Structure 1
Amino acid sequence: MTEERPPIEQLRRGKYEKPSASPDKGNCFRLTRVGDWIGVQDDKEYTTTPVDKRTTLGFTIAELEAFLISAKAGEFDHLIA
């Protein structure tokens, strides 16, 4: 069972991956997985901010999956148009 709160310190130290379709200018995000949690970090902070100071968001796999399904369905298109 997933903990109620994300393990932010563990997520901060995760091995982050950048999406292959993202631009090289640092205008993207990176993801990592620690147990049942997905960590999200800003690509700009990843290269300029010490690991223990990076802004890190934690989501359950189910939460991230629900977001991706909604994004693929176009639910957020009005925000970027």
Structure 2
Amino acid sequence: MISKKYSKFLFIFLMGFGMSLMMTLIITFINTGYDELYFKRFLKAWSISLPVAMIATTIVAPLVQKFVDKITNN
């Protein structure tokens, strides 16, 4: 099992990984269609979107958590 102290980093990694994977798969398909070069285009796009997603999740997740804490009851 993974230590609880790493839970925020694990959340950021899994959220960024999953979101960038799904979005890049879908957006690449919508923009370019599916052919023999689809996965090459996808991997190129994902190599950019994954780091962006990790950085965005690192910045946005704490802000969203604070907002959710403010608008929900304890």
Query: Would you call these one fold, judging by a TM-score over 0.5?
Result: no
Normalised to the residue count of structure 1, the TM-score between the two structures is 0.26
TM-score (norm 2): 0.28
Higher RCO (Cα < 8 Å, 6 or more apart)? 2
Point out the structure with max Rg over C-alpha.
Answer: 2
Higher percent of residues as strand: 1
